[in-house]
């Protein structure tokens, strides 16, 4: 049976569809043509009078749909994904796992444009895992969001079973098991760093509240929108019913960048670089740890003898890679960010290879490294592949590493003071260090 809740359909123009993607196991009448016509009503109707229209392959096509501004606030299945089918029957024949709900904010943006197709293809969760994508956009990006959903339809991904779009996080995040929070405002000309923290912080406070209210109690949250560590802290503080441990700030892109630079210098392929930790903030204070990283299983400092290069050039190259990329592209990294989000997710859903680890920004409470409590800090983690992680214990520190880590820690503590009004910790006081920046700021 195909169901279309037409009171809330994101409708922009007349739209006709057929049920060509349905498998024979899904519908007994799969050859029956299903036409659904949507069009914008000239007259909005009040919510109280909204009606639900149910259509299926053995029913008459749905009549004209109406959409009010209020209705647009609801998350709504999109196009062919409004068809329903018997997934359980599929599970029996294909041993598919239970559908997984993945919410993505900033879904009409460049990063998502790369990421969504990876998620839909099975690259992240594997070939037996059907996926539902719940896409959050804004009023302004709504048409683009429809465009994204149309491209997902046209891609005919067998694992992609549901796509819904909306602009209200309380609707879109419902039952989300993963929330990839990508949407954020970029820093505009003349905008102070504190201003960016405040504007984006408000978005993440709201999204934290929404997750707290409607998402799965064990939702895994990856914050990508900058400044991602502090945005993740704001988000988790506003979601007290979700374990703080479940919130991540994306530093996997920095890890990947560091591996690439070490491989280049050592003259090896980048798959030979392992145990790469990024410590701290996703900013120019981040610390790519060459003390504990390995190349072909040996300590980096034994392979790369130019220690001055490691301390100065390598570190700065990684810290400022995002900015250099913006200079070249004229915009922030998108494809490599999407790849790193997929990598970060894969690291949580597959067991970490023996002896190795990965970096992710996580809540510091209980960390064994002496890093200040109650911030989100990138640290080395391992996972059993169950979505959870543990911090790696046997890490070596030297004075250089400690000093650098302390700088990033001080920056995050200052960011935290600056958003106290958004974390429920009183009055904000901004004393951000002047020499620290987002990777994209030059
Ligand atoms: C990146 O690391 O590429 C981005 O976070 C840069 C930015 O500031 O947008």
Q: Is 225 in the pocket of ligand 1 (CB under 6 A)?
A: no
The neighbouring-strand residues paired with 221 are 179, 247
Tell me which residue of 168, 92, 162, 113 sits closest to 136, measured CA to CA: 168
For residue 91, the model assigns a pLDDT of 67
| Probe target for ligand 1 pocket from 253, 439, 441, 442, with the most ligand atoms within 8 Å of CB | 439
Q: How far is the CA of 49 from the centre of ligand 1 (A)?
A: 46
Q: Is 333 in the pocket of ligand 1 (CB under 6 A)?
A: yes
Angle (CA) 47-77-59 rounded to 5° is 85
- The closest-lying atom of ligand 1 relative to the alpha carbon of residue 438 is 8
For residue 196, the model assigns a pLDDT of 86
CA distances in angstroms from 425 to 238, 282, 325, 376, listed in the order given: 11, 23, 36, 16
- The closest-lying atom of ligand 1 relative to the alpha carbon of residue 325 is 3
CA distances in angstroms from 324 to 65, 314, 318, 329, listed in the order given: 48, 14, 10, 9
Q: Is 223 in the pocket of ligand 1 (CB under 6 A)?
A: no
Nearest residue (CA) to ligand 1, atom 3: 322
Q: Is 253 in the pocket of ligand 1 (CB under 6 A)?
A: yes
pLDDT tens for the 442 residues of the chain, in order: 222 222 223 322 222 232 333 222 222 222 222 222 222 233 332 332 222 222 222 233 333 333 445 545 678 899 888 877 777 676 667 778 999 999 999 999 999 999 999 999 999 999 999 999 999 999 999 999 999 999 999 999 999 999 999 999 999 999 999 999 999 987 766 667 788 899 999 999 999 999 999 999 999 999 999 999 999 999 999 999 999 999 999 999 999 999 999 999 999 999 999 999 999 999 999 999 999 999 999 999 999 999 999 999 999 999 999 988 888 888 889 999 999 999 999 999 999 999 999 999 999 999 999 999 999 999 999 999 999 999 999 999 999 999 999 999 999 999 999 999 999 999 999 988 765 666 666 5
CA dist., res. 105 & res. 202, Å (int):
14
Catalytic residues: 282
pTM, 2 dp: 0.83
């Amino acid at each position: 049976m195909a169901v279309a809740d037409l009171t809330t359909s994101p409708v922009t123009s007349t739209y006709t569809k057929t049920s060509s993607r349905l498998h024979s196991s899904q519908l007994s009448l799969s050859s029956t043509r299903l036409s659904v016509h949507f069009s914008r009503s000239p007259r909005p109707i009040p919510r109280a009078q909204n009606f639900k229209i149910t259509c299926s392959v053995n029913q008459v096509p749905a009549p004209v749909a109406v959409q009010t501004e209020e209705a647009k606030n609801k998350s709504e299945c999109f196009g062919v994904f409004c068809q329903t089918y018997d997934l359980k029957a599929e599970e029996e024949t294909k041993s598919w796992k239970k559908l997984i709900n993945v919410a993505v904010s900033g879904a009409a943006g460049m990063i998502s444009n790369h990421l969504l197709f990876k998620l839909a293809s099975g690259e992240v969760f594997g070939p037996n895992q059907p996926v539902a994508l719940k896409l959050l956009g804004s009023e302004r990006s709504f048409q683009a969001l429809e465009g994204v959903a149309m491209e997902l339809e046209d891609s005919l991904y067998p694992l992609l079973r549901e796509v819904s779009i909306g602009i209200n996080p309380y609707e879109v995040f419902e039952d989300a098991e993963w929330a990839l929070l990508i949407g954020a405002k970029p820093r505009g000309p003349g905008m102070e760093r504190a201003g960016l923290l405040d504007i984006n912080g408000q978005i993440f406070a709201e999204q934290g509240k929404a997750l707290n209210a409607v998402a799965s109690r064990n939702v895994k949250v990856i914050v990508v929108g900058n400044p991602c560590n502090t945005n993740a802290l704001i988000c988790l503080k506003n979601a007290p019913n979700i374990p703080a441990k479940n919130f991540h700030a994306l530093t996997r892109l920095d890890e990947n960048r560091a591996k690439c630079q070490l491989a280049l210098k050592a003259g090896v392929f980048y798959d030979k670089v392992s145990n790469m930790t990024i410590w701290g903030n996703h900013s120019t204070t981040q610390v790519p740890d060459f003390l504990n990283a390995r190349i072909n299983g040996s300590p980096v400092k034994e392979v790369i003898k130019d220690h001055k290069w490691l301390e100065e050039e390598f570190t700065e190259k990684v810290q400022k890679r995002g900015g250099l990329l913006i200079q070249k592209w004229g915009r922030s990294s998108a494809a490599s960010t999407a790849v790193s989000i997929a990598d970060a997710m894969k690291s949580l859903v597959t067991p970490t290879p023996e002896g190795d680890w990965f970096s992710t920004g996580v809540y510091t409470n209980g960390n064994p490294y002496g890093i200040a409590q109650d911030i989100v800090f990138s640290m080395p983690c391992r996972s059993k592949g169950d979505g959870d992680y543990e911090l790696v214990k046997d890490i070596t520190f030297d004075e250089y590493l400690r000093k650098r880590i302390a700088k990033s820690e001080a920056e995050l503590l200052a960011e935290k003071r600056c958003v106290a009004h958004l974390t429920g910790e009183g009055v904000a006081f901004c004393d951000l260090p002047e020499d620290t920046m987002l990777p994209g700021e030059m």
